[in-house]
Amino acid sequence: MKCSDYNVEVQSSVGFLLYNCIRNGLALLDNDTLPKYKKLIQDPTEADSDPLYEELLRGGCLIDSKISEFELLKAFSRYMRFAPSKVTSITIAPTSFCNLKCTYCYEEKKHFDNMDSNTGKAAGNFIKDLLKEYTQACQITWFGGEPLLAIDTIEKVTEDLRNYCIEKKIRYNANIVTNGVLLTREVAVQLKEYGITGCQITLDGDRETHDARRPQKNGKGTFDKIIENIVEVHDLLKVNIRVNLDKSNCSAAFRILEIVEQHGLKNKVNFYFAAVNSNTDACCNLAPLCFSPHEFATLEVELLQLATERGFKINKYPRFKPFACGAINSNNFLIGPTGEVWKCWHTLGQTEEAIGNVFEPLKFNHVWAKWISWEAYDLDECRKCKVLPLCSGGCPWQWMRYLDNPDMNQIPCWSFRYNLPKLLELKAKQELQEKGVVLPFSKVSG
């Protein structure tokens, strides 16, 4: 036996915590257990009759010395990306029009389109072709532009796809990424009928800050309407609030918690923080405002700490992720309003990045090859990284940019690389408050 390369030990304010990045179990070792643990990891072969030994095995902290965890992770990642999948995940942008003019929008729009009915039908047929006999679930994400500007297209494509899924006994589920301005209760009722169960809505701080960053095209604010809509729909759709952070809105972001509480939404909606990136020509002027991954990780943990102190349940528990994102998977695609097919959300609208079109069989062209041949496990930085099982290399698109131009870009490390000990401490505190114990290894599966 040997210790896992992915164990994380944290001397925290609640005591000594032990976590494993593959199995994701977290344990609090008390003063009696800690010396035993220290002794046992010096020579794991000696203590196989000790109950602690069993727990460490169960938690993945001790493993067979013949195992190379890195090779196992790499192989599993490939399996998950390329093996015939039971779930087919497709993102559809039924329009590239949007009713807002966000200051940091990354979508480079040279022209705008709506999906017409022919393209909608072809998109449906394209997806049905992907739903092979072994497919158990079809997962659709509606994206844009603002997808609610094209709700008729959502209705028609859904009807076609759901009928097919019912006939073939395939589970159907959908969610939507929307700015929330048009998401009234009436619209949410309609979306439920279209199989949409959740939505992601962005709120960037208090009214003043949010309205300055995410105004309507005519310059008017959107904050009040979005809050009103979230209040109206949160019992119908699972609401995930995304808070985009850069140096200009971090103090306002702290007030999000207060706002969510004031509107009776505490622990009724989820929220998470994301860093603004200056990734495209459309938003490259934002570079001085963007946080480095390290800065973002520090701020994120401060925000989450504040949230737990105010009694919010946080759902940022670090979990094993065999691949970073669907763009590098064989069965994930993004369909744009004119029927072009892409792999990565960030390339939506860039003709030279399309891998084909829903009107014809997929071309396995050089762009497709770029995504499918991406391998984070070959990157030196990731090979030696302790949080590799949680991050799986981060955003491939950002990595490609970094490798093309390392002086201008940053490695897209997930915040876990910098704030994992603090997050584990927060989780332990929360568990102690709620249940009096910290997640024992045995309750967490790998």
Give the footprint of ligand SF4 on this chain (CB under 6 A).
325, 327, 344-346, 381-382, 385, 387-388, 391, 393-398, 411-414, 417
| Strands 332-335 vs 270-275: parallel, antiparallel or unpaired | unpaired
Q: Which is nearer to ligand SF4, 141 or 153 (CB)?
A: 141
Q: Which positions ≥6 away from 265 have C-beta within 8 Å?
A: 230, 231, 234, 239
- Strands (DSSP E) contained in 158-291 are 171-177, 196-202, 238-245, 270-275
Instruction: For residue 407, give Cα distances in angstroms to 144, 250, 324, 383, 410.
Output: 31, 26, 23, 22, 8
Q: Which is nearer to ligand SF4, 147 or 412 (CB)?
A: 412
Q: Which is nearer to ligand SF4, 202 or 222 (CB)?
A: 202
Q: Which is nearer to ligand SF4, 20 or 430 (CB)?
A: 20
Please, what is the minimum distance in Å from the beta carbon of residue 344 to ligand SF4?
3
Please, what is the minimum distance in Å from the beta carbon of residue 1 to ligand SF4?
26
Please, what is the minimum distance in Å from the beta carbon of residue 21 to ligand SF4?
10
Q: How far apart are the first and last CA of the chain?
A: 19
| Residue 262, SS3 per DSSP | helix
Q: Which is nearer to ligand SF4, 213 or 346 (CB)?
A: 346
For residues 214 and 263, is the Cβ–Cβ distance under 8 A? Answer: no
Please, what is the minimum distance in Å from the beta carbon of residue 24 to ligand SF4?
16
Please, what is the minimum distance in Å from the beta carbon of residue 376 to ligand SF4?
6
Count of CA atoms in the C-beta half-sphere (13 A) of 433 = 12
Please, what is the minimum distance in Å from the beta carbon of residue 441 to ligand SF4?
23
For 348, the enclosing helix (H) or strand (E) is none
Please, what is the minimum distance in Å from the beta carbon of residue 328 to ligand SF4?
7
Q: Which is nearer to ligand SF4, 231 or 282 (CB)?
A: 282
Q: Which is nearer to ligand SF4, 69 or 381 (CB)?
A: 381
Helix extents (H) in 83-184: 117-130, 151-168
Instruction: For residue 406, give Cα distances in angstroms to 127, 346, 356, 402.
Output: 37, 19, 30, 5
Please, what is the minimum distance in Å from the beta carbon of residue 153 to ligand SF4?
22
Q: Which is nearer to ligand SF4, 181 or 391 (CB)?
A: 391
Q: Could you give the CA distance from residue 179 to residue 146 in angstroms, rounded to a whole number? A: 7
For 233, the enclosing helix (H) or strand (E) is helix 223-233
Q: Indicate the residue type of 411.
A: I
For residues 207 and 247, is the Cβ–Cβ distance under 8 A? Answer: no
